Amino acid sequence: MKMRIHGLLSSLTVTGVGIYSAAGLSLLFFTPSLHAVDLQPLSDDEMGSVTGQEGVLVSLEYYYNSNPATNGDALLGSGSAGTLGDGGCSGPNGSSSLADMDCRLAIQLENRSDEWLVIKNGYASIVVNRLSLDASTLGESVATGAGYSTFFNQGKFEAVDGTTCLLGAGNCNTGYIDNMPAVRTHYPETAGSYNPGDGTSTGYNDVRLGIYYEGMAIEFNSAPGVQDGWQQNVNGSFLGLNIADNNSAQAGIAFGGNFYMYGF
């Protein structure tokens, strides 16, 4: 299956990287945040005070047609029906905003060249704060009261004959599994609170997610061979979506724990 994606006035920003697309043309640029300086030798005393830990700390922000300065609210433009290039989304304004050509995302399947799935007047954002990735062993995986060994199933590592260990003779046991290398994804345990009186919450900042689109519809090219189905608003909308909370256009999430990937 082949498909084409058509984006209008959409933007994606990740720390140090930017992608912008308009009328099907995408531009990718990098803006490194590192600055090169001359390397200076360290004395023995300075070397002795250096400490560190292996691992990667990941924080990212993604904004699509949305404004980081206002916690993921839409980038607003004039919102004129049927216009293109006015600088942003329309806001929820009914039929006028559904007809606006900005903040659209359209998908066209190759075997249905005159048919488009059009998302109208949409924006989104996601923020992930301080997710850590590091090397570990499965023996370090400990849950409340016990580690993974309490639910370890030896049969999962054996061939269909039920006796041959796929990891090597004598290795289908917790003693061997304990020392298997793994990649650990870790998020510190955090918490949040909700005030039912005023409908606000605090502390849910591990991940913030916001998705909004006012309409979705199947639209067709206006004439054979004219590829403008993504510009149509003949069928209005059959579906809309909004993920947010009472604080802003982003829903806040608090969570914690470890995820281990092994077997490579």
What digits encode the pLDDT tens for the residues 140-174?
876 554 566 677 788 888 898 888 998 888 888 88
Alpha carbon 106 to its chain centroid, in Å, reads 19
**Local structure of 177: helix, strand or coil:** helix
Q: Residue 186 is encoded by which pair of tokens?
A: 């870790």
Mean pLDDT for the stretch of residues 197-225: 88
Residue 85 counted as domain residue:
yes
Domain region containing 144:
132-187
Which pLDDT value is given to residue 90? 78
Percent of the chain with pLDDT over 70: 73
Residue 40 counted as domain residue:
no
SS (H, E, C) 118-161: EEEEEEEEEEEEEEEEEEEEHHHCECCCCEHHHHCCHHHHECCC
In this structure, of 8-22, 35-49, 87-101, the range with the lowest mean pLDDT score is 8-22
Which pLDDT value is given to residue 131? 86
Q: Determine phi and psi for 193, rounding to 5 degrees.
A: -140, 150
Question: 109 vs 125, which has greater pLDDT?
Answer: 125
Q: How many domains does the chain have?
A: 2
Which pLDDT value is given to residue 91? 67
Which pLDDT value is given to residue 209? 94
Q: Does residue 106 sit in the same domain as residue 236?
A: yes
Residue 247 has pLDDT above 80, yes or no: yes
Q: Does residue 106 sit in the same domain as residue 234?
A: yes
Residue 242 has pLDDT above 50, yes or no: yes
Is residue 44 within a helix (H) or strand (E), and if so which, with residue range? helix 44-48
Q: Does residue 159 sit in the same domain as residue 124?
A: no
Boundary of a domain, candidates 187, 208, 226: 187
Question: Which amino acid is residue 187, in one-letter code?
Answer: Y
Residue 223 has pLDDT above 70, yes or no: yes
Residue 3 has pLDDT above 60, yes or no: no
Residue 220 counted as domain residue:
yes
In this structure, of 89-103, 116-130, 139-153, 193-207, the range with the lowest mean pLDDT score is 139-153
- Cα–Cα distance list, 174 to 107, 159, 250 (Å): 49, 17, 43
Residue 178 has pLDDT above 80, yes or no: yes
Which pLDDT value is given to residue 81? 56
Q: Does residue 148 sit in the same domain as residue 67?
A: no
Q: Residue 67 is encoded by which pair of tokens?
A: 């404004």
Residue 46 counted as domain residue:
no
Q: Residue 142 is encoded by which pair of tokens?
A: 């400990």
Residue 37 counted as domain residue:
no
DSSP 4: E
Distance separating alpha carbons of residues 92 and 212, to the nearest angstrom: 10
Band the pLDDT of 237: cuts 50, 70, 90. very high
The 10s digit of each residue's pLDDT in 18-31 is 333 333 333 333 33
Which pLDDT value is given to residue 167? 85
Which pLDDT value is given to residue 187? 86
Residue 264 counted as domain residue:
no
Please state the pTM of the whole predicted model: 0.65
Which pLDDT value is given to residue 240? 93
Q: Does residue 153 sit in the same domain as residue 26?
A: no
Q: Does residue 140 sit in the same domain as residue 124?
A: no
Mean pLDDT for the stretch of residues 101-122: 87
Distance separating alpha carbons of residues 193 and 176, to the nearest angstrom: 43
Residue 77 counted as domain residue:
yes
First to last CA, the chain: 31
Residue 205 counted as domain residue:
yes
Q: Does residue 151 sit in the same domain as residue 23?
A: no
The 10s digit of each residue's pLDDT in 53-92 is 567 888 899 999 888 988 888 888 765 555 565 667 876 6
Q: Does residue 69 sit in the same domain as residue 122?
A: yes
Q: Does residue 85 sit in the same domain as residue 20?
A: yes
Boundary of a domain, candidates 166, 187, 208: 187
Q: Does residue 115 sit in the same domain as residue 239?
A: yes
Q: Does residue 234 sit in the same domain as residue 167?
A: no
- Cα–Cα distance list, 96 to 90, 101, 215 (Å): 8, 10, 12
Q: Does residue 115 sit in the same domain as residue 16?
A: yes
